[in-house]
Structure 1
Amino acid sequence: MKKDYYEILGIDKSADASAIKKAYRKKAIEFHPDKNPGDKEAEENFKLAAEAYEVLSDPDKKARYDQYGHAAFEGAGGFGGGGFNNMEDIFSQFGDIFGSGFGGFGGFGGFGGGGQRRVKGSNLRIKVKLTLEDIANGVEKKVKVKRKVQADGVSYKTCGTCNGSGQVMRVQNTILGRMQTSSPCPTCQGSGQTIDKKPQGADADGMVTAEETVSIKIPAGVSDGIQLKVSGKGNDAPGANSIPGDLIVAIEEVEHEFLKREGENIHYDLYLNIADAVLGGSKEVDTVNGKVRIKIEEGIQSGKILRLKGKGLPSLNGYGNGDFLIHINVWTPKKLTKEQREFFEKMKEDENFVPHPQKGDKSFFEKVKEMFS
Structure 2
Amino acid sequence: MSKRDYYEVLGVARHASDEELKKAYRRCAMKHHPDRNPGNAEAEVAFKECKEAYEVLSDGNKRRAYDQHGHAAFEHGMGGGGGGPGYADMGDIFGDIFGNIFGGGAGGARGPRRGADVGYVMELSLEEAVGGIDRQIEIPTLETCDSCDGSGSADGKVETCETCGGRGQVRFQRGIFSMQQGCPHCGGRGQTISNPCGDCHGQGRVERNKTLQVKIPAGVDTGDRIRLTGEGEAGPPGVPPGDLYVEVRVKEHEIFQRDGDDLHCDVPIRISQAALGDTIRVPTLGGEVELRIPAETQTSKVFRLRDQGVKSVRSRRKGDLYCRAVVETPVNLTAEQRDLLEQFEATFVGDGARKHSPRSSTFIDGVKGFWDRMTS
TM-score (norm 2): 0.61
Higher radius of gyration, 1 or 2: 2
* One of 253, 258, 261 as aligned partner of 2:250: 253
The letter for the 1-side match of 2:281 is E
Q: Name whichever structure is richer in helix by fraction.
A: 2
Query: What is the aligned partner in structure 2 of residue 129 from structure 1?
Result: 123
Shift of 1:283: 2.3
- Residue 300 (str. 1) matches residue 294 (str. 2): no
Report deviation, 1:337: 1.6
Partner letter of residue 205 of structure 1? Q
- 1:183 aligned onto 2:184: no
The one of 171, 178, 181 equivalent to 1:169 is: 171
Cα deviation for residue 166 of structure 1 reads 1.1
* CA–CA distance in structure 2, aligned partners of residues 195 and 247 of structure 1: 30
Aligned-pair distance for 1:59?
A: 1.9
Q: CA offset at residue 345 of structure 1? A: 1.8
Kindly state the Cα deviation for residue 165 of structure 1 after the two structures are TM-superposed: 0.8
Distance (whole Å) between structure 1 residues aligned to residue 180 and residue 266 of structure 2: 65
CA distance in 2, matches of 1:55, 1:316: 26
Q: Distance in 2 between matches of 1:95 and 1:221?
A: 45
**Preserved contact between residue 138 and residue 220 of structure 1 (Cα < 8 Å):** yes
* Distance across 1 between alignment mates of 2:71 and 2:322: 24
Q: Residues 123, 341 of structure 1: CA spacing in aligned structure 2 closer, same or farther, 3 A cutoff? A: same
SS at structure 2 position matched to 1:136: helix
Which runs of structure 2 are paired with 1:224-303 in the superposition (5 Å)? 224-238=222-236, 240-303=237-300
Give the drift of 1:266: 2.2
* d(CA) in 2 for partners of 1:231, 1:198: 30
Number of residue pairs matched by the alignment: 295
Name the CA distance, whole Å, in 1 between partners of 2:7 and 2:294.
56
Q: Which residue of 1 aligns with 2:147?
A: 153
CA distance in 2, matches of 1:14, 1:323: 41
Q: 1:138 to 1:354 in 2, by over 3 A?
A: farther
User: Shift of the alpha carbon at 1:228?
Assistant: 4.7
Opposite residue 151 of structure 1, the aligned amino acid is: C
Determine the C-alpha separation between the residues in 1 that align with 2:71 and 2:275. 45
Question: Which amino acid is 2:116 matched to?
Answer: S
2:106 is equivalent to residue 98 of structure 1: no
Say yes or no: does 1:215 pair with 2:213.
Answer: yes
Q: What is residue 43 of structure 1 aligned with on the other side?
A: none
For residue 234 of structure 1, report the CA deviation from its aligned partner: 2.0
Contact in 1 for aligned 2:65/2:73 (Cα 8 Å): no
Question: Could you say which residue in structure 2 is the equivalent of 1:117?
Answer: 111
Cα 1:362/1:250, change in 2 over 3 Å: farther
Contact kept? 2:66, 2:73, Cα under 8 Å:
no
Conserved? CA contact 2:310–2:319, under 8 Å: yes
Q: Which residue does 2:62 correspond to in 1?
A: 58
Structure 1 contact 348–354 (Cα < 8 Å) conserved: no
Alignment partners' CA distance in 2, 1:168 and 1:59: 32
Over 3 Å counting, the alpha-carbon distance change for 1:257 and 1:230 in structure 2 is same
Instruction: Give how far 1:312 is off.
Output: 3.0
Question: What amino acid is the match of 1:250?
Answer: E
Other-structure match for 2:85: none
Please point out which of 335, 345, 361 is paired with 1:348. 345
CA RMSD, 1 decimal: 4.6
Equivalent residues of 1:17, 1:57 under 8 A apart? no
Amino acid aligned to 2:245: I
Contact 1:271–1:331 under 8 Å retained in 2: yes
The answer for unaligned runs of 5 or more in structure 1 is 1-10, 23-48, 71-80, 83-93, 364-373
With 139-148 and 328-337 compared, the bigger mean Cα shift is at 139-148
C-alpha deviations, 1:319-351, integer Å up to 9, x for none?
945432211112222222222222222211336
Answer yes or no: is the 8 Å Cα contact 1:277–1:301 preserved in 2.
yes
**2:200 equivalent in structure 1:** 202
**Which residue type is aligned with residue 153 of structure 1?**
S
Per-residue deviation at 1:220?
4.8
Question: What CA distance in whole angstroms lies between the structure 2 residues aligned with 1:65 and 1:198?
Answer: 49
SS class of match (1:143): strand
Q: Distance in 2 between matches of 1:291 and 1:199?
A: 63
Cα distance in 2 between the residues matched to 1:294 and 1:96: 68
Q: Distance in 2 between matches of 1:118 and 1:95?
A: 17
SS in 2 for 1:285: strand
- Deviations 1:104-154 (Å, cap 9, x if unpaired)? xxx9x79xxxx6434533333322001222333444433122221121132
Match of 1:32 in 2: none
1:16 corresponds to: 6
For 2:6, the aligned partner's letter is D
Distance 2:362 2:115 in 1: 60
Q: Please give the per-residue CA displacement for 1:274-306, whole angstroms capped at 9, x wherever unaligned.
A: 343344332222223443322222332222111
8 Å CA contact 1:121–1:243 kept in 2: the answer is yes
- Whether the 8 Å contact between 2:280 and 2:291 is mirrored in structure 1 is yes
